[in-house]
Structure formats: C-alpha cells, structure tokens
Structure 1
Amino acid sequence: MKIAVMGAGAVGCYYGAMLARAWHEVTLIGRPTHVEAMNRDGLLLDLGTSQEYVAVTGSTEASSVDGAELILFCVKSTDTEDAGQQIKPFIGKDTIILSLQNGVDNAERLGQVLGQPVIPVVVYVATSMGGAGHVKHHGRGELVIGMSSQSQVVADTLRPARIPVEISENADGALWAKMILNCAYNALSAITQTPYGELVKQDGVWDVMRNAVDECLAVAAACGVTVPGDVWGAIEKIVETMPAQFSSTAQDLARGKPSEIDYLNGYIVRKGREFGIATPTNLALHAITRLRELKGVAG
C-alpha cells in the first residue's frame, strides 16, 4: 500500500518505519534535517536491542500525500487545521485518514477541514527522536482505532507490520482515557524534565496525579463520555511499561518548542469552566507548563 505520514516526528517515524519494514511504500513528510537524513541513509529505527536502517521516502512538501491510499496524520494538535489545509488539495475521496494525535477532538477538527471522515486513533507507544532521521522506541506500540467502514482494512494493513490494533466502538472514551493519562503525567514530566519512573518516586506526586485524574473524570462525565476500563490502574501501569519515558510535552520543552498542553490539561480547564466544574490541579499544571514553555521558547 502507498502510505503517507504527515508529521515525521517520533510517533510518525516509528509507525512509518514499521510499515516500511512490512514492504509498504512509505513517504514521511517532515522537517528538512530529518528528510535529508532519511533520503541519504534511510530511517534509523532503534528498537533498543537492535538497530536498522529502513528504506523510506522523505519529503518536506504536503503535496507528497498525493496518491496515498492511507495517511497517518501525526502533527501536533496546535497544527491540525493548518496541516489539514495543506494536504486537502491532494487527497482523494477514498483516501483513508487516521489521526494519531494527542487530545480528544483532532479527528473532528481535521474532518471539518478536509470535508471527509477521519478515523480517530489512540496511540500507546513510547518513542523519541535520537537525532536527524533516527527514531528510538522505548516500549509498547499498540493502537486503538475508531469504528468505521474502513477500520478493518486499516487493521489488516497494520497488524502484519507488527502493530497491535484494537477496533473500538467507544473511540471517544478511549481518546479520553489516553488524554487523562497525559493529563496525569505530561505536565509533571515536562516541568521537572523527569522520566515517569523517577517522577512517581517523589513525595506527593501520586496525590497530585490522583487529583488531576479525578477532575478529568468529572469533566468527562459532564461531557457525556464513558471512559472505559480502569483509568487509575492504567496510569499506575505506565510506570512499569514506560519507566524511562519522558512525556512528549517534556520533549517539546527540552527542544524549546511549543507543546500541546493547551489540548491536554488546558482542555480540561476550558471544559471545566464551561460546565462549572472546578479543576484547580489541572489549572496549576497547565499554567506552570505554559510558563516553562514560554521561558524555553524565549531562551
């Protein structure tokens, strides 16, 4: 299958590499330094126990999605509308589009821009960029995709590439479950520049996380969302499955780049105000992260 990845960051590069290893024709659209390295050497996939260069095509142009049967949309939540407008002229009516993004409303926002359905995807993977054209995998890798007429085709494409896939009838709830996990970890990891395993060893951290989660669940209930599974159990398990992982927000701040915090804890704060629900812990985490972000960008 001809596949395009819009947003060749850590998530996009990991799944693009896995699909390319399964002999799909993969084009990764990203920043010039990454594109140059991938076109020169291939994409270096670092699985911890092994490394290999994977043959992919790199591009800086959104027009490179032209002709793709499947698009993995992996840009930051802050860039959803802009990136959507860039690819809109080059996608077909039968193109399958997956939103592999943090937050709960990206698929809806992107669908409004494109004028066609977008399948929401919940991503559970620990990855980071080790340099230009170099993606590092730290753990997990499963996806939960929303139910649609195209979902089975997606699953049948991804599973042979060693990408675990679950098709869910409650994609909204699954997205909220992931966002709540992000609300618990991302800001704290970013503010302290600490990986998850070390983060939770500090006094009071679990209590802060518990308060943030309780606020998120109250807001989810007000939004009419049923959050599946044991949310707190999943949050505790992250320490076991991804102890060395820094949150994506922490990685953004470390590079001096804007983060997605407005679409995580900030989203909870906005929705809480809308429904008259107090969210003091999420408010504090959002505000402090924004201050650190502005300091990093300015510095």
Structure 2
Amino acid sequence: MKVAVMGAGAVGCYYGGMLARAGHEVVLVGRPQHVEAFNGAGLRLEAQSFDETIPVRADTDAAIAAGADLVLFCVKSTDTETAGAQLSAHLRPDTLVLTLQNGTDNAERLRAVIPQPVAAAVVYVATEMAGPGHVKHHGRGELVIEPAARSREAADELIAAGVPTEISDNVRGALWVKLILNCAYNALSAVTRLPYGKIVQNPGVPEVIRNLVAECRAVAAADGVTLPGDVDAAVRRIAETMPTQYSSTAQDLARGKTSEIDHLNGFIVRRGQALGVATPVNLTMHTLVKLVEAKQAA
C-alpha cells in the first residue's frame, strides 16, 4: 500500500514506521524540523525490541499524500477540520482515512468535511518524539478499528506489520473508554510533569483518579454509551504497563503548545452540563491545565 500519515508526530510516526518497516510506501506530513530529518536521514523508530532507521518521504504539504490507499490521520483534535480540508483534495474517492486521535467525535467531524470513507480507531500506545525524526516507543501499540470500506484490508496489513489490530462494532464505546483513561491521567501528568507510574504512588491520587473515572462513567451512561470490558482494570493497567510515559497533554505543555484538554476533561464537562451530570473533579483538572496554558502564553 501507499500510506500517508497526516500529522507525523509520535503516534503517526510509530504506526507509519511499522508499516514502512514491513515494506509499504509511507509518506509523512509533518512539521518542518521533522520533515527535514525524515528526508535527510530517515525515520528513526526506537521500539522496545529494535532500533532502526527507516527510509520515508516527507513534506509539510498534504499534496504528498496523493494516491494513498490509506491515511493515518493523527493531527490534534483542535485541527481536525482544517487538516481534513487540506488533505481531501489530494485523495482518491476510495482512500480510507483512519483517525488515530484522542477524543470521541473526530471521525464524525472529519466526515463532515471530506467525502472519503472515514473509520475511527482507538489507539493504545505509549510513544514520544525524542528528537527530530526520532520516535521512541515506550509500550503497547494495539488498535481497535470500526467497520468501514477497506477496514479489513487495513487491519490485515497492520497485523502483518506487527501491530495488534481488531475490528469492533462498538468503537464508540471503546473510544469512550480511551477518553476515560485520558481523563484519568493526562491532566495529572501535565500539571505535575510526572509519568504515570510515579503519579499513582502519591497519597490521594488513587482517590482523585477514581472520582474522575466515576464522573466520566456517569456522563457516558447518561449519553447512552455502552462501555466494553472492565474500565477500572483498564485504568489500573495504564500505570502498570506505561509507568515511564508522560501524557500527550504533558508533552504538549512541555513544548509550549496548546493541548487537547478541551477535547478530554473539557469534553466531559460540556457533555455533563448538557446531560445534567455534575463533573466537578473533571472541571478542576481542565481548569488547572488551562491555567498552565495561559501562564505559558503570557
């Protein structure tokens, strides 16, 4: 396949790198400093079991995605509509666009601005950009994809490339579980600048996480969402399987960037208000992150 990664940050580079390593043609759309590194030296993928530099092509312009069979759509939730509009004109009508983003409504928002088939995916991976053109993998890597045209083909190629992938009829519920995990940890990691494993060792934190999760579950129930699996076990597993990982929100703030917190704890607050569910702990975490952003912007 020809695979385009729209938003070549840590998540997109990991999955794009795995597909390139398996022999697919991969092109990356990203920021100038990374594009220069990709084109000059290749994509360095430092995984847990290997450390390789993989040849790829990259550009800051979405036109490089022309002719792609699959797009891994990995931009921040705040940029979904803008990036979708930039990308769509360069794609074939049958190109599958797979959204590998935080939040629960990105696929729906993307479908409103592009005609190509869109499938939501739930991402469970711990990665970071360790330098220009260099992605470091800290753990996991599973994908859960919703059914769509060519979803099965994409899933089979991802599996063959070493990415555990499944297709699920309840991706909405799985996206909500991922949202709950993000609401439990992202703001805490961002405000404290600590990785997950160290966060949970501090007094009071387990109770705060339980309260965050309880509010999210109440909003999900009011919204008619069926949450698959054992949510509490999934929350515990984050700290156990990704103890050295800093949240994407923490990474954004460390780089002086605006985070996706409005689409995480902020989304829970807005949905709670609309559905009559109180969310004071999520409101507190959302407000704290926004204060840090405001301080950095001042």
TM-score category by the smaller chain? over 0.9
2:207 paired with 1:207: yes
Check whether the contact 2:117–2:149 (CA below 8 A) recurs between aligned residues. Answer: no
CA deviations on 1:131-176 (whole Å, 9 max, x unpaired) are 0000000000000001223221111111110000011010100000
Structure 1 stretches of 4+ with a deviation exceeding 6 A read: none
Query: Which letter maps to 1:284?
Result: T
Distance of 1:49 and 1:66 partners within structure 2: 33
Partner of 1:31: 31
142-151 vs 225-234, which deviates more? 142-151
SS in 2 for 1:90: coil
Check whether the contact 2:95–2:116 (CA below 8 A) recurs between aligned residues. Answer: no
- State the shift of 1:224 in Å: 0.8
Segments of structure 1 that go 5 or more residues without pairing to the other structure are: none
Partner of 1:219: 219
2:129 paired with 1:156: no
Partner of 1:64: 64
Query: Which letter maps to 1:58?
Result: A
What is the aligned-residue identity percentage?
62
Partner of 2:100: 100
2:131 paired with 1:134: no
Distance of 1:134 and 1:222 partners within structure 2: 42
Partner of 1:251: 251
CA deviations on 1:46-67 (whole Å, 9 max, x unpaired) are 1145321101111110111111
2:73 paired with 1:73: yes
Partner of 1:44: 44
Query: Which letter maps to 2:103?
Result: G
Check whether the contact 1:5–1:73 (CA below 8 A) recurs between aligned residues. Answer: yes
Check whether the contact 2:70–2:97 (CA below 8 A) recurs between aligned residues. Answer: yes
Check whether the contact 2:126–2:139 (CA below 8 A) recurs between aligned residues. Answer: yes
- State the shift of 1:95 in Å: 0.4
Distance of 2:196 and 2:52 partners within structure 1: 27
Check whether the contact 1:35–1:59 (CA below 8 A) recurs between aligned residues. Answer: yes
SS in 1 for 2:113: helix
Distance of 1:213 and 1:48 partners within structure 2: 30
Check whether the contact 1:10–1:127 (CA below 8 A) recurs between aligned residues. Answer: yes
Segments of structure 2 that go 5 or more residues without pairing to the other structure are: none
Partner of 2:290: 290
Check whether the contact 1:127–1:135 (CA below 8 A) recurs between aligned residues. Answer: yes
Partner of 1:196: 196
2:121 paired with 1:121: yes
SS in 2 for 1:130: strand
Query: Which letter maps to 1:95?
Result: T
SS in 2 for 1:107: helix
Distance of 2:27 and 2:203 partners within structure 1: 45
Partner of 2:266: 266
- State the shift of 1:6 in Å: 0.1
Distance of 1:50 and 1:140 partners within structure 2: 14
- State the shift of 1:117 in Å: 3.0
Check whether the contact 1:4–1:29 (CA below 8 A) recurs between aligned residues. Answer: yes
Check whether the contact 1:258–1:297 (CA below 8 A) recurs between aligned residues. Answer: no
Distance of 1:287 and 1:133 partners within structure 2: 33
Partner of 1:171: 171
CA deviations on 1:88-109 (whole Å, 9 max, x unpaired) are 2111110011000000000000
Check whether the contact 1:257–1:297 (CA below 8 A) recurs between aligned residues. Answer: no
Check whether the contact 2:99–2:118 (CA below 8 A) recurs between aligned residues. Answer: yes
Q: CA RMSD in A?
A: 0.9
